[in-house]
A and B are shown apart, each in its own frame.
Chain A
Amino acid sequence: MTGPAGLTQQGDITGNLDVECGVVIVGSGAGGATMAAELAGAGIDVVMVEEGGYHPTGSFTADSTRALRTLYRDGGGGIAAGRPPVLFAEGRCVGGSTVVNGGMAWRAPPQVLDRWATRGVTGISERELEPYFARAEARLSVGLQDPETIGRDSRLLQAGAGAKGWAIVPNRRNQLHCAGSNNCNSGCPTGAKRSMLVTSVPRALSRGARLFADCRVERVTRSDGAVTGVRGRFVRPGGRPGPRLTVRARAVIVAGGAVQTPALLARSGLGSASGQLGRNLYLHPNAMVIAYFDEDVTGWHGVHQAFQIREFAAEGILLTANNLPPPMLAGVMPAHGRELGELMAGYNRIVTAGCVVTGSTAGRVRTVPGLGPLVFYQISDHDAACVLRGVTLTAEVLFAAGARRVLLPFDGAPAVHSMDELRGLLARPVAKRSLGLFTVHLMGTARMSDDPRRGVTSSVGEFHGVPGLFVTDASLFPGPIGINPMETIIALALRNAERLIERRGCHGV
């Protein structure tokens, strides 16, 4: 597939390649692409290396399993080991997870920033980050959805919240007149979602950056303690190893996300003096409720997640409606055979809604040679109780909107037809391990703190003790953010890019 000038894909390469640049950036998602666009705009010679492939807007369709294979790492089937395990999904393509996320663009709440500031992070108050959030929002066309694109599933959630008197807000989304195609998680087929694929990546390329796609970085290289670049390998179709890529650079920025970033640093022998690299993995556990209505909802008409119920935000619980395409819905349906067929026959009468909980416990990413990164996360009793409460509230709002039957995310739970039935069911303890959990928000594994005993990087993402090495993704977060993280990743990248540009002489770029 041909691409824009500056892009090199595995099919373009026949032999090993050596390149030189000022700054090499590993990853092209929210952090990496933003940093690339800023640095290239300042005249710095930038190379981006992305493990995933280049898939332009015109290639995106509603074939959700093809999207899983081409746009996600491991087919979207990441598992954080624990009881219960938490399924997670990470994007792996040019543009990273911004290509497959829901397009929610929210600033980190001030109380979260205040909490982070108590952990040795400076320059992170609401006032100090305001200009970066504002730039991020302008760059990504952040705004409210055009009303004609809001689907019936979201309207039912809104009606349920209205009936309960609960606070509900329209989602702020990075979109330019989103068409409401409900295809966010398989790649936006119109380009209306302002992912990195259609914003910062082309911006970086048009300012002279180079991008190597289909190339997995294996190591960050060093000499005399300072970074010298990265070494990687192109990935041929089917995962076969291709030619090698060696990038010599004066600065290295790692932006692979909260799982891949610590893994790359660890396999490069870059343990942090604080011992915190790979630790402090925070998640936002999600649990989903499937509700059947009498009416035809056709949940795949209209935008993905038009609203968030914020009534319980102080408890760390958000509620939202989020349609799933048939393969994904079938995959989590608590039935098989004929019964599954009967449940799925009502697909167009279903609203899928869920709760997102701000996890309070920390997990860990460990890197095992030959197996890659392994993720461990044990949800706490407190968080499991929050999930149960979130599920109950989700069911409550759906019943208030007129749902006739609700399926719950607990193994073996029967369908419930009213809140009384649900309360009866929950009168008995629900085993924590029976919860069906997933997440797309992972953070914290290379947390920032100016105190090198507490953090992996400084407040501007520079790795403690390794000159010229930076991190710019959700790994930097010193704790859970409690809201969709993309805009904060971008704001921090804008701020950290500014610092790097100011100090470019020190780094020789």
Chain B
Amino acid sequence: MPAPPAAAPPRLRAPVRRSVARFADVACPPQVRTERRTVQVLAEFELLLGALRPAARRAVGAAFVAVDQGARLYPPARGRRFARLGDQAAEAYLRALLSRRDGIGDLARRLKGLVVMCYYALPAVQEEIGYRPAPYIAAVSRRRLASYGPEIRAAEENR
């Protein structure tokens, strides 16, 4: 059965989008850039954000903006936002955030979790790591019916 028609996911505000995109570039494996997957990660992220209640959606957006602007307080960034940092400085900033043992570190780890989750939701990425569940599910479903079909049908009828 096809998936139900879904509402268009909420579009990210530009400052949030910039921060998430930079986050994805740094937090995901290098193939996110070499294979030009950042836009797909953003699309997946928008879908995920759409599943949250509005207050949570706003909070997540605000957290990404805070990470973006927070880079200005990171001395090696020399006053620049996260989205404007070069690769080395962005990596160092993210690493510094993730290694903190306080609420800011907790938040950064949660945001990182969300972004990399979106990356590993991409079918091409799953294929690369050898995760191909659809044919497997089809095969074991057939095996189930072949082995136990009459019993299953009888139970369904007696429901």
* A residues apposed to B, CB below 8 Å: 1, 53, 55-56, 58-59, 61-66, 68-70, 72, 74-75, 77, 84-85, 141, 146, 148-149, 176-183, 189-190, 192, 199, 202-203, 236-240, 298, 300-301, 325-333, 336-338, 340-341, 344-345, 347-348, 370-372, 411-412, 431, 433-434
Contact of B137 among A85, A189, A411 (CB under 8 A): A189
Residues of chain B with a CB closer than 8 A to A189's CB: 137, 141
What's the least CB distance linking B22 to chain A, in Å?
Answer: 13
* Closest 5 A/B residue pairs (Cβ): A341-B29, A237-B7, A238-B7, A62-B133, A58-B1
Given known contacts A189-B141, A238-B7, A337 and B148 CB-to-CB distance under 8 angstroms: no
The count of chain B contact residues (Cβ–Cβ below 8 Å) is 64
What's the least CB distance linking B63 to chain A, in Å?
Answer: 13
Q: Judge whether B56 and A183 touch: CB under 8 Å.
A: no
16 extra interchain contacts, Cβ-Cβ under 8 A, other than A327-B117, A327-B121, A337-B29?
A: A59-B4, A65-B121, A149-B140, A177-B144, A179-B140, A179-B144, A183-B137, A240-B7, A326-B125, A326-B131, A330-B116, A333-B116, A340-B27, A344-B129, A371-B55, A412-B101
Contact of A330 among B5, B120, B137 (CB under 8 A): B120
Given known contacts A65-B48, A300-B131, A179 and B141 CB-to-CB distance under 8 angstroms: yes
Q: Judge whether A344 and B120 touch: CB under 8 Å.
A: yes
Q: Is the interface of B mostly helix, strand, loop or mixed?
A: helix
Residues of chain B with a CB closer than 8 A to A236's CB: 7
Task: List B residues 99-117 near A (Cβ within 8 Å).
Answer: 99, 101, 105-106, 109, 112-114, 116-117
Given known contacts A65-B44, A347-B131, A179 and B143 CB-to-CB distance under 8 angstroms: yes
Residues of chain B with a CB closer than 8 A to A371's CB: 55
Given known contacts A65-B47, A66-B3, A77 and B141 CB-to-CB distance under 8 angstroms: no
Contact of B26 among A58, A66, A331, A336 (CB under 8 A): A336
What's the least CB distance linking B150 to chain A, in Å?
Answer: 11
Contact of B47 among A64, A69, A176, A332 (CB under 8 A): A69
Residues of chain B with a CB closer than 8 A to A141's CB: 155
20 contacts between A and B (CB under 8 A): A59-B1, A59-B4, A65-B48, A68-B51, A74-B52, A77-B52, A146-B148, A177-B147, A181-B140, A181-B141, A330-B113, A330-B116, A331-B113, A336-B116, A337-B27, A337-B28, A338-B30, A347-B130, A348-B131, A411-B101
Residues of chain A with a CB closer than 8 A to B13's CB: none
* Assembly CA distance A431 to B125 (angstroms): 35
* Assembly CA distance A148 to B47 (angstroms): 37
Contact of A183 among B6, B50, B109, B133 (CB under 8 A): B133
Residues of chain A with a CB closer than 8 A to B42's CB: none
Residue of B nearest to A190 (CB): B141
Residues of chain A with a CB closer than 8 A to B56's CB: 74, 77
